[in-house]
């Protein structure tokens, strides 16, 4: 299935000639290199405009918050890939990123769609159709429950009461002056979930990231790129450590030891520990 009609023959991101390189209309060497941060550049690349100070701050905070998360599956596969192919750093990074989906890192986009849906439904097509954020949130959460859909951006296996990263990101948004309707929706959902689901499901980092970024003007369709970009930095760190302090095969052997064979086998066969 195509993303859209394939009628375009142009791109507005970059071009160059012998003397000048343009990125989103900015002279790369004269206007950008040494003058803006990488976070500024990410915003420019994605949105087409340089961020203001507040926008840059919340994006930077989100990138810092989600970059490192220990030996999660995406990191493990990345390190084991490098152990098996030490010449292929790019392959190991790619392996880690390919392991990022609805459970690991992809939830930020899903949570962003949830928050956007609540805010949009609360606004309504006209003032006569508008409703409160709480009414819209309750309606949509009940719909998710009736469809047996998970509530993205809420709940965490370790941070039961609250996710400290989420709390800090909301504080940063308040300090930057960008808090708006998406953060309001995130807080309201946090409050109504216990009465709807029967259990507390606190706002987590994957819910806080789209809440602060959507309020700051970051596009929803690029939301998944934020955790992917952040986690790339962490993967590089893990792969550098893998070169000097290798644990890829340690993890591989640990998996072999933890998993027992229960398939067919001849009489008298006894597996040898590996």
Range scoring the smallest mean pLDDT among 100-104, 200-204, 229-233, 265-269: 100-104
Task: Evaluate whether residue 50 is within a structural domain.
Answer: no
Q: Is the pLDDT of residue 127 over 60?
A: no
Range scoring the smallest mean pLDDT among 12-21, 33-42, 104-113, 152-161: 152-161
Task: Evaluate whether residue 6 is within a structural domain.
Answer: no
Tell me what pLDDT residue 120 has. Answer: 95
Residues 229, 171 share a domain = no
Residues 128, 114 share a domain = yes
Task: Evaluate whether residue 212 is within a structural domain.
Answer: yes
pLDDT, averaged across the chain: 91
Residues 231, 95 share a domain = yes
State how far the Cα of 15 lies from the Cα of 213, in Å rounded to an integer. Answer: 28
- 151-167 residue pLDDT tens: 999 977 576 678 999 99
Tell me what pLDDT residue 205 has. Answer: 94
Tell me what pLDDT residue 271 has. Answer: 83
The three-class DSSP label of residue 270 is coil
Residues 154, 78 share a domain = no
Instruction: Judge residue 221's burial from the number of C-beta atoms within 10 Å of its C-beta, 0-12 exposed, 13-18 middle, 19 or more buried.
Output: exposed
Residues 233, 186 share a domain = no
Domain holding 119, by residue range, is 107-222
Residues 148, 236 share a domain = no
Residue 177 corresponds to which tokens in the numbers above? 């002056």
Task: Evaluate whether residue 179 is within a structural domain.
Answer: yes
Percent of the chain having pLDDT more than 70? 94
Task: Evaluate whether residue 81 is within a structural domain.
Answer: yes
For range 81-87, the mean pLDDT: 95
Residues 128, 99 share a domain = no
Q: Looking at the 3D structure of the chain, how many domains does it have?
A: 2
Q: How many CA atoms lie within 13 A of 175 on its CB side?
A: 11
Residues 215, 161 share a domain = yes
For range 7-36, the mean pLDDT: 95
Tell me what pLDDT residue 272 has. Answer: 78
Burial 160-179 (b: 16+ CB within 10 A, else e): eeebebbeebbebbeebebb
Tell me what pLDDT residue 247 has. Answer: 94
Q: Is the pLDDT of residue 203 over 90?
A: yes
Task: Evaluate whether residue 268 is within a structural domain.
Answer: no
Q: Is the pLDDT of residue 274 over 60?
A: no
- 210-220 residue pLDDT tens: 999 999 999 99
Task: Evaluate whether residue 189 is within a structural domain.
Answer: yes
Residues 120, 195 share a domain = yes
**In which band, very low, low, confident or very high, does the pLDDT at 86 lie, cut at 50, 70 and 90?**
very high
CATH of the domain at 126: 1.10.230.10
Residues 99, 228 share a domain = yes
Residues 112, 181 share a domain = yes
Task: Evaluate whether residue 215 is within a structural domain.
Answer: yes
Residue 38 corresponds to which tokens in the numbers above? 């990488």
Tell me what pLDDT residue 160 has. Answer: 67
DSSP string covering 191-203: HHHHHHHSS---B
State how far the Cα of 46 lies from the Cα of 269, in Å rounded to an integer. Answer: 59
Q: Is the pLDDT of residue 122 over 60?
A: yes
Residues 207, 160 share a domain = yes
For range 194-206, the mean pLDDT: 89
Q: Is the pLDDT of residue 110 over 80?
A: yes
**In which band, very low, low, confident or very high, does the pLDDT at 125 lie, cut at 50, 70 and 90?**
low
């Amino acid at each position: 299935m195509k993303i859209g009609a394939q009628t375009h023959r142009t791109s507005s991101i970059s071009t160059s000639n012998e003397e000048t390189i343009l990125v989103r209309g900015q002279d790369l060497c004269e206007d950008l290199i040494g003058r803006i941060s990488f976070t500024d550049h990410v915003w420019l690349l994605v949105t087409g405009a340089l961020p203001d100070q507040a926008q840059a701050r919340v994006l930077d905070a989100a990138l810092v918050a989600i970059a490192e998360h220990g030996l999660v599956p995406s990191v493990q596969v990345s390190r084991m890939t490098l152990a098996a192919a030490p010449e292929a750093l790019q392959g190991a990074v790619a392996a880690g990123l390919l392991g990022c989906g609805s459970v690991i890192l992809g939830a930020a986009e899903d949570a962003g769609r949830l928050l956007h849906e609540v805010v949009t439904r609360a606004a309504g097509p006209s003032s006569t159709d508008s409703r409160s954020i709480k009414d819209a949130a309750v309606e949509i959460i009940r719909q998710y429950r009736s469809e047996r859909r998970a509530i993205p951006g809420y709940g965490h296996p370790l941070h039961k009461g609250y996710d400290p990263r989420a709390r800090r990101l909301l504080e940063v948004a308040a300090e930057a002056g960008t808090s708006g309707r998406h953060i309001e929706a995130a807080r309201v959902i946090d409050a109504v979930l216990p009465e709807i689901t029967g259990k507390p499901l606190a706002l987590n980092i994957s819910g806080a990231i789209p809440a602060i970024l959507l309020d700051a003007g970051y596009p929803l369709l690029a939301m998944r790129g934020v955790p992917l970009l952040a986690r790339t930095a962490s993967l590089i760190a893990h792969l550098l450590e893998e070169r000097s302090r290798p644990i890829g095969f340690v993890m591989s052997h640990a998996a072999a030891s933890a998993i027992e064979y229960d398939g067919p086998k001849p009489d008298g066969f006894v597996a040898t520990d590996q």
